[in-house]
Chain A
Amino acid sequence: MADTIQSILKKFRQNNQSFLIPILQSVQEKEGFISKAATERISEHLRLSKSHIYGVASFYSQFKFNPPGRHSIKMCLGTACHVQGGDFLLHALEAEIGIIPGETSEDGKFDLDRVACLGCCALAPVLMIDNTIHSRMSVIKLKETLETYD
């Protein structure tokens, strides 16, 4: 792990706060979440306190602080998705995999998050699993869609 963080930090100048968000984004991309250990390393690199870093990271909805599941589900809760039944879909999804947004399932298979809008409003409601967007979803198609992932 230490080497991954090191290779990321190498790309950014030290002591410059404007690199904080790009660093956090790179760390999350490589490791899936922002760990305490990573925060410590970033803190040394930028000379910002750990609490300061957590303050910035937790302000933005992109950053996670728990290890993700094998598959990440992002439920779109944009207005178009809401009007087309996105809320019902999230409700059924929570019951189906037994977790609420922000959590990872016990078997480590799925983690669930809501996003404000994926920008596929014309195909609402949509949800994204890993990098695939499932368009025109419905509560009826939910089970069969989830079964295609292992």
Chain B
Amino acid sequence: MTEFKAIQKKALQEWLSLQNSPYPIIYVGMGSCGIASGAGEVWEQVHKTIKKENIKAQVHKVGCIGPCYLEPFLDIQKPGLPRMSFNNVDVQRTGKLVSEFTNGTGSKHKPLGHLGPQGKQINGTRSFWDQPMLKNQVRIVLRNCGIINPENINHYIARDGFKGLLKALNHGPEVVIAEIKKSGLRGRGGAGFPTGLKWQLCRKAKGNPKYLICNADEGDPGAFMNRSLMEGDPFALLEGMLIAAFAIGADHGYIYIRAEYPLAIERLKIAIQQMNDLELLGDNILDSGFSFDIRLKEGAGAFVCGEETALIASIEGKRGMPRSRPPFPVTSGLNGNPTNINNVETLATVPAILREGADWFSGIGTEKSKGTKTFALVGKIRRTGLIEVPMGTTLRKIIFDIGGGPLKPFKAVQTGGPSGGCLSEKFLDLPVDYDSLSQAGSIMGSGGLIIMDENTCMVDVAKYFLRFTSNESCGKCVPCRIGTSRILEILEKITAGKAEVKDLEILEKLAKSVKNGSLCGLGQTAPNPVLTTLKYFKDEFLEHIENNRCPAAVCRDLVEYRVIADKCTGCQKCVSVCPTGAITGPRSEPHFLDLEKCIKCRACYEICRFDAIAGDAIEIV
């Protein structure tokens, strides 16, 4: 342990010299979402400008700080001041910011906020944490995301990194398990199984070696919490894995991660290497007699592999099909040995619990759901991004106070991905925790929150999810394989305007049979999107069936596109974007839309609404 004290001291020195640097420090938000918004070009421009103007400055990459709608972020820290954060920067603005803001002539550039203390103005700039999107959050799991360089272990160590591990090694496995049980931590993958209990079962199970698997196969479409976390603070996950492995007595660890997350894989590889170098992984970690190694397994794209027995089959090199339980993986998992599987967020929460104590953690949240939960706030909402709030926060607070509400009137919020449900306006005051959500017919899931407004068709949403689950059904059990396909057929009939009212009865009956009869979680929850939309948005189903009308004008078979001749300015913008050449007409004269050729892709409608010259002359009826 004395060795680790020296490592800590060195890390702290490095971190403090960064905070008190006599030169400017520049940080670029380089998560996947930042890079998709152009952070890569910003990163290059920062280096170019520094070189060209001979500016003495250090440049660091950081992960995603949360408000994705403001990406890319560029932070500049000048001597004596906290980091000043600039949002939505492009290459041109980056060049100016770097040269003018660092030499003191850049007072015209107004930062979005400073990363110093909350509630304090500095040089006329408010704190970044006082923005509406951030001030209602409690950041425990995400505390380092966007703050530290995720490719530098010293940054993590300097911010209390591995203190949880030290505590665990000092107190022994039984104490760790007792502490996690006392904290009330439940699995963040969606089902909410008590984590401490799972660890205890695995510890007691007979068989050697034991395995620890981190499920990082974030398969829910519309969710990216785990990706951001692994990209922004991979060490928190790895420390959590070390603590879990120590508690259950595991020798080998796997991270089963989606191949679609190349950046997260790269950052984890770097982090594992740096931990190996400091002997925080491998044989006899910190002289404690505890040995553990971690391997990465890339998933090959199958939603069902989020189910733990299917995930194990996939690691063994087989088709990722689930099997019936019991025996549960804690007694017979990978290669028939005891295997403990936890989600990324669950494991990344563990170090904080050990560090700050179970009482501190259980003081946050509700009676049965403790701590915080991260959510991906996306869809038709003003402020999109990654957030973390205490369990029990209401949907209204999340959607309206944090997310700023939708642009058009709110219609629904979808939680829990393909296994969850769509909740209507009357549920806005529902506290978000495991039990309230399942009572409403949805589930917590891994944390995707998709907001829908009046331009979203709920029948189409149900169809979307069923297409997804019927594609992803592994085919092993009949209710799921055939049932999801039959449900999808009925939904297709409805959106095509070919259904009858009695089909709704069949739909509901079928959905319930699939729910009751399926082997694994995929089939048991696949009907949820149908059942909840049927329950809370039945009017929309009836409108499709009885009046052949899609109120949101989404269902292709029920709408037609028309040019309003009086409004058409003949600007030919629509002609240029139409992929099938369905619109024709000479300049400055009303255009003609050939319905035979029209594939209803919306291109003409969009450009006619948003282009300055065009006149909003295309209607969907």
A binding-site residues for B, Cβ under 8 Å: 16-22, 24-25, 55-56, 59-63, 77-85, 87-89, 91-92, 95-96, 115-124, 126, 131, 133-135, 138-140, 142-143
Q: For the complex, is B379 an interface residue (Cβ under 8 Å from A)?
A: yes
Residue on B nearest A25 in the bound complex, by CB: B298
Does the CB pair B223–A121 fall under 8 Å? yes
Does the CB pair B380–A120 fall under 8 Å? no
The total of Cβ contacts below 8 Å across the A-B interface reads: 173
Q: Supply 13 A–B pairs (Cβ within 8 Å), ascending by A.
A: A25-B298, A56-B317, A60-B299, A80-B221, A91-B601, A116-B219, A119-B33, A119-B218, A122-B69, A122-B384, A122-B385, A123-B33, A134-B36
- Chain B residues with CB under 8 Å of A143's CB are 576-577, 579
**Known: A91-B599, A92-B579. Is A140-B317 also a contact (CB below 8 A)?**
no
**Known: A79-B448, A116-B468, A122-B69. Is A140-B36 also a contact (CB below 8 A)?**
no
Number of interface residues of B (CB under 8 A): 67
**Known: A21-B314, A78-B221, A80-B450. Is A85-B602 also a contact (CB below 8 A)?**
yes
- Chain B residues with CB under 8 Å of A82's CB are 221, 461, 464
Q: Which of B222, B303, B603 contacts A140 (CB 8 A)?
A: B603
A-B residue pairs, 5 tightest by C-beta: A122-B68, A79-B222, A60-B300, A78-B221, A122-B384
Interface residues of B in 442-490 (CB under 8 A from A): 448, 450, 452, 456, 461, 464-465, 468, 472, 474
Highest count of chain B CB atoms <10 Å: which of A62, A117, A126, A135 = A117
Residue on B nearest A19 in the bound complex, by CB: B317
Q: For the complex, is B545 an interface residue (Cβ under 8 Å from A)?
A: no
Nearest-neighbour CB distance to chain B for A57, whole angstroms, equals 8
- Chain B residues with CB under 8 Å of A122's CB are 33, 68-69, 71, 224, 376-378, 384-386
Does the CB pair A79–B35 fall under 8 Å? no
Interface residues of B in 428-454 (CB under 8 A from A): 448, 450, 452
Nearest-neighbour CB distance to chain A for B314, whole angstroms, equals 7
Residue on A nearest B314 in the bound complex, by CB: A21
- Chain B residues with CB under 8 Å of A134's CB are 36
Interface residues of B in 244-268 (CB under 8 A from A): 259-262
- Chain B residues with CB under 8 Å of A19's CB are 317
- Chain A residues with CB under 8 Å of B464's CB are 79, 82, 87
- Chain B residues with CB under 8 Å of A84's CB are 379-380
A118 to B301, CA, bound (A): 11
Does the CB pair B302–A117 fall under 8 Å? no
A55 to B319, CA, bound (A): 7
Q: Which of A95, A96, A116, A140 contacts B221 (CB 8 A)?
A: A116
A118 to B315, CA, bound (A): 22
Nearest-neighbour CB distance to chain A for B466, whole angstroms, equals 12
Does the CB pair B259–A25 fall under 8 Å? yes
Residue on B nearest A77 in the bound complex, by CB: B221
Q: For the complex, is B320 an interface residue (Cβ under 8 Å from A)?
A: yes
Nearest-neighbour CB distance to chain B for A146, whole angstroms, equals 10
Q: For the complex, is B108 an interface residue (Cβ under 8 Å from A)?
A: no
- Chain A residues with CB under 8 Å of B221's CB are 77-82, 116-117
Does the CB pair A139–B602 fall under 8 Å? yes
Does the CB pair A60–B33 fall under 8 Å? no
A96 to B580, CA, bound (A): 7
- Chain B residues with CB under 8 Å of A123's CB are 33, 36-37, 68, 71, 384
A78 to B417, CA, bound (A): 10
A95 to B579, CA, bound (A): 6
A85 to B600, CA, bound (A): 12
Q: Which of B297, B319, B417 contacts A59 (CB 8 A)?
A: B319
Interface residues of B in 582-621 (CB under 8 A from A): 599-603, 606-607, 610
Q: For the complex, is B339 an interface residue (Cβ under 8 Å from A)?
A: no
Highest count of chain B CB atoms <10 Å: which of A62, A81, A120 = A120
Does the CB pair A83–B450 fall under 8 Å? yes
A17 to B314, CA, bound (A): 10
- Chain A residues with CB under 8 Å of B518's CB are none
Residue on B nearest A48 in the bound complex, by CB: B317
- Chain A residues with CB under 8 Å of B300's CB are 21, 24-25, 60-63
Does the CB pair A17–B317 fall under 8 Å? yes
Q: For the complex, is B572 an interface residue (Cβ under 8 Å from A)?
A: no
- Chain A residues with CB under 8 Å of B44's CB are none
Q: For the complex, is B203 an interface residue (Cβ under 8 Å from A)?
A: no
Q: For the complex, is B503 an interface residue (Cβ under 8 Å from A)?
A: no
Q: For the complex, is B318 an interface residue (Cβ under 8 Å from A)?
A: yes
- Chain A residues with CB under 8 Å of B376's CB are 121-122
Does the CB pair A121–B36 fall under 8 Å? no
A56 to B316, CA, bound (A): 11
Residue on B nearest A17 in the bound complex, by CB: B317
- Chain A residues with CB under 8 Å of B32's CB are 118-120, 133
A142 to B224, CA, bound (A): 25
Does the CB pair A92–B450 fall under 8 Å? no
Residue on B nearest A113 in the bound complex, by CB: B301
Does the CB pair B69–A56 fall under 8 Å? no
Does the CB pair B260–A117 fall under 8 Å? yes
- Chain A residues with CB under 8 Å of B577's CB are 139-140, 142-143
Does the CB pair A121–B603 fall under 8 Å? no
Does the CB pair A142–B450 fall under 8 Å? no
A62 to B610, CA, bound (A): 37
Does the CB pair A121–B599 fall under 8 Å? no
Residue on B nearest A91 in the bound complex, by CB: B601
Q: For the complex, is B544 an interface residue (Cβ under 8 Å from A)?
A: no
Q: For the complex, is B227 an interface residue (Cβ under 8 Å from A)?
A: yes
A95 to B297, CA, bound (A): 37
Does the CB pair B379–A80 fall under 8 Å? yes
A89 to B302, CA, bound (A): 23
Does the CB pair A121–B607 fall under 8 Å? no
Nearest-neighbour CB distance to chain A for B353, whole angstroms, equals 27
- Chain A residues with CB under 8 Å of B319's CB are 55-56, 59
A18 to B600, CA, bound (A): 47
Does the CB pair A17–B601 fall under 8 Å? no
**Known: A120-B32, A123-B33. Is A20-B385 also a contact (CB below 8 A)?**
no
A135 to B250, CA, bound (A): 41
- Chain A residues with CB under 8 Å of B576's CB are 143
A84 to B453, CA, bound (A): 10
Nearest-neighbour CB distance to chain A for B513, whole angstroms, equals 25
- Chain B residues with CB under 8 Å of A120's CB are 32-33, 36, 224
Highest count of chain B CB atoms <10 Å: which of A92, A134, A138 = A92
- Chain B residues with CB under 8 Å of A142's CB are 577, 579, 603
